[in-house]
Structure 1
């Protein structure tokens, strides 16, 4: 037996061995020829194909709950997106493209806009391409790519996995997930943790190995690949108690467990899963289909729909995180050589304050309509002066509680001054890691640098939390670091007062916090921060928390 070892980023703990089941690659790029004899007839094929794909995804959604259901419903809606379909039909009629090619080009155009955005929106590129593959498969009468039907337990190996592929996986059959691409903040990591499936991402070379068996360590990120079958083995972990819905440590120290949302569908799923509130409402999702800025009343209605499930509970609404790097036509963005470092987030509002003023007015109205306890925060704040500028505008709009995101290292380093200007801060660990390490979080080759266990990142979190504690002001984390149950204990130990995450992670994180006293969390934090590498930090914390 010949074995090779690949190293990636462990994103969901556990050790397993078993046979490999390979997820099929995306469909090949459709050909642009031959031109259809009847363009109108060819264009008319796209709508029914989209309806069929959307229907199948909706049927899958009905069989699951929570985050998985929200993901499948969102993907179903994307399959029937009228703008995507209209653009594809236009390509058929105007350029004479076959329907599959037209769908491909329309989807790639939208994917390129999202990719240029970076951050959370760029992570949706995989979703768009997954929907395109499903539509193309429907139009060509071929089987769509995705997870194969499993006859027994297996380790799934893939280049990457779309959220719709992972949403309804059966943990009884899927021993582990291993992807060659992806990163620690993607859906594969989040859903694997929620399902209790060990997972390793950014394991370069796993596909080329052509393995038939594998041993996966979701703690260390090591994947041992074999050219011969491997017996199924699963290292048993202690069962975790169910979460009672209250975020706190074992000795009663409060640490709120909140949800990240971007739509009314997300909000309903989060409320049903027992979220104590919302730590991040991404309002840009209400703008993505807009060719012009929505009016105050339209915004107010959209926000109210998402706030309604959280009447009487805290909701932190982030103002528009858009700009030259975001696909929002009404902003009339100009080309920038490096848009990720350009005019985005709050920087747009400095030149066009009326946009943020109208949004704040709409948020205040939606809060009044729903009874949610609404706070607002601004993205991409770099200085205390910027924080104070935003806080003044929020209070002028009638919103009494204003905060900012800590995503820029300069803001973390001046956290004391920033907190003097606002009521709270929330650390976006995804972007803070990206900017701290100068590493695009979408590149699998740089996934190690974006590992939320990087000690340098934890030290910045510690710095911000200390400033909050000294001023008696809350410091939350709303990056996907909050979705890691083990890391949640470390963050609490560093002084973080709330953790906000995708709905799928709520129960596991809440239960994990409840297993440890605050003193134990603080000890785990001290040991993790004192290490030199993310693997060492993770192991040091595990040694304390699982002792």
Structure 2
């Protein structure tokens, strides 16, 4: 992977601030247009990420900062570098979602400086043969347009499991491991076995190991090409496989890949980068687009998950020392209830409109046809901590016409109090990304603690088991919509812990469907016991892998 451009020298400019800024404006406009074009080519989730980057290039606050630095005698290159670096450091300090966008800012800075210098922007190298790409980090703009015929895997030194690089790699079905110490030490031409499922990189594989890996790759390709079937265990126990989606634009691809519904519809795209909350009608239009793609299925919607780590001027943009533990999720919505009321109202209206249309179109058929033409809308609140939060959200949702209301389990306290929560909530969906972060006190976006951000950890799995048991006792659904559901073998463990539905990036559906079909419920429960009784994440993964292999042989 080419090295980033060197830091511009801090030398006085030989041109006037006006001339320098004119050059910078042209460069920023070019970068913004290029990112938008890349987004159109990539489509889906990648387009959302690249459009957000394009907005960074056009941010007037950054432009003002650049002008101020030019006025102090900085060169164009140095002014751009310092302005973007300043904003980057601010985002890193804020943590959470905003820290996730720091790498995106670095990429915009590099592209702008390259344009000013008239040189190519750092990017992915070309190769005549397939290869595993190794980099310090990889910009979303490059990840989004990777040539899947050539780039067969990705290893980076920086980044966490929920960075844009990792998310986009998963969405494109590229095996990727981020936060790997010593990644840059790998030399070109080294034969590497990248096992994303187990989080390992083997730089000295034997011929026998290579043969085994090639066999596994062929088996995976066969599974991906197999006819689409509902998610189920080997004994016929149904485990619906749902999709995590960020906008209605991703619905068609999810359906084509076999999604049986939506387990997490993120609604932030309507709110981020906006100066005011969208109107009820604006929201209704977007929700209807999503719901019509899943008529006859279930769509689980998460209300706005924002706060200090995703600052919105109309919600809460006050700086907090530790935003991950601050006013976010349901806490922020409780302090700005009008926003929550409008969103719940819009969701109830959208469901009613879609189902009325569906019922009307099926009026010439029987009752079953009319019923099948309806979509089920389940709505859940993020960052719920206890019964008080649950009662507040569920009662408000029902008041405003939402028929099925639940909560997300991302805070360990909710797992401890799950029996109380199920007395009120219709369902619980586990967000394993945050649940892992809060259980292990490891920032999920920080590469230096990426080894701790592992949902295989027995502490995390025991919390999942507590929620699973409470859901079983209450005869209510328990879902998982965090990234853990996309790990095929871990998905089986989650089912063994009492999870009844799994939601993931659509690209993972085939792998998870295939792995579930290899195990009975009794075997899944046996694997779960092995995992929760382990002493670490690595030990849990190893124990389950060994036991699954033994069961397959037996």
**Bigger radius of gyration, 1 or 2?**
2
- Quick one: distance in 2 between partners of 1:144 and 1:40? 20
**Aligned pair partner of 1:452 in 432, 443, 455:** 455
Residue equivalent to 1:382: 385
TM-superposed deviation, 1:268: 4.0
- Which ranges in structure 1 are unaligned for 5 or more consecutive residues? 1-22, 62-68
Q: For the aligned residues, what is the CA RMSD?
A: 3.2
Query: Structure 1 275/116 Cα, relative in aligned 2: closer, same or farther at 3 Å?
Result: farther
Instruction: Show the counterpart of 1:391.
Output: 394
Q: Secondary structure at the match of 1:448?
A: helix
The answer to whether the aligner puts 1:293 opposite 2:277 as a matched pair is yes
Distance 2:464 2:510 in 1: 23
1:401 to 404, 407, 414: 404
The Cα of 1:103 is off from its aligned counterpart by: 5.7
Distance in 2, matches of 1:46 and 1:86, equals 14
Matches within 5 A, 1:525-536: 525-536=528-539
* 3-state DSSP of counterpart to 1:468: helix
Structure 2 residue ranges without an equivalent (≥5): 356-374
Q: CA deviation at 1:128?
A: 4.2
Q: Distance in 2 between matches of 1:311 and 1:70?
A: 20
Q: 1:519 to 1:224 in 2, by over 3 A?
A: closer
CA distance in 2, matches of 1:56, 1:294: 26
Q: Give the deviation of 1:166 after TM superposition.
A: 3.3
TM-score by length of 2: 0.83
Could you report, residue by residue, the CA deviation over 1:229-251 in whole angstroms, capped at 9, with x for unpaired residues?
x9995622341323614222232
Q: After superposition, where does 1:326-337 map in structure 2 within 5 Å?
A: 326-337=310-321
Matches within 5 A, 1:106-505: 115=92, 118-120=95-97, 122-170=99-147, 173-174=150-151, 176-186=153-163, 189=166, 198-208=175-185, 213-218=190-195, 221-223=199-201, 233=210, 235-238=213-216, 239-240=219-220, 241=223, 242=226, 244-371=228-355, 372-505=375-508
Q: Residues 404 and 122 from structure 1, CA distance in 2 versus in 1: closer, same or farther, beyond 3 angstroms?
A: farther
Rounded Cα–Cα distance in structure 2 between residues aligned with 1:205 and 1:290: 40
Question: TM-score scaled to structure 1, two decimals?
Answer: 0.84
SS in 2 for 1:381: coil
Q: Structure 1 residue 362: deviation in Å?
A: 1.8
The corresponding residue for 2:48 is 74
Answer yes or no: is the 8 Å Cα contact 2:267–2:303 preserved in 1.
Answer: yes
Aligned counterpart, 1:26: 4
Q: Secondary structure at the match of 2:103?
A: helix
1:45 aligns with 2:26: yes
Quick one: structure 1 residues 313 and 111, their matched pair in 2 at CA, closer, same or farther if it must change by over 3 Å?
A: farther
Partners in 2 of 1:339 and 1:366 — Cα distance?
33
Contact conserved, 1:36 with 1:42, CA < 8 A, in 2?
Answer: no
Offset, 1:472 = 0.8
- The structure that is helix-richer by fraction is 2
Question: For residues 173 and 333 of structure 2, what CA distance do their matches in structure 1 show?
Answer: 42
**Compared CA separation, residues 222 and 95, structure 1 to 2 (3 A):** closer
Asked if structure 2 preserves the Cα contact closer than 8 Å seen for 1:520 and 1:544, the reply is: no
1:354-396 deviation digits (Å, cap 9, x = unpaired): 2211221122222233344211111111111210111000000
Aligned equivalents of 1:148 and 1:195: distance in 2?
18
- Offset of 1:277 from its aligned partner? 1.5
Question: In the superposition, relative to structure 1, how do residues 135 and 56 fare at CA in structure 2: closer, same or farther (>3 Å)?
Answer: farther
Query: What is the aligned length?
Result: 515
**Against the structure 1 CA distance between its residues 383 and 144, is the aligned structure 2 distance closer, same or farther, given a 3 Å change threshold?**
same
Select the structure that is richer in strand: 1
Which protein, 1 or 2, shows the higher relative CO under an 8 Å CA cutoff with sep ≥ 6? Answer: 1
Aligned 8 A contact 2:23 2:116 in 1: no
Paired residue secondary structure (1:404)? strand
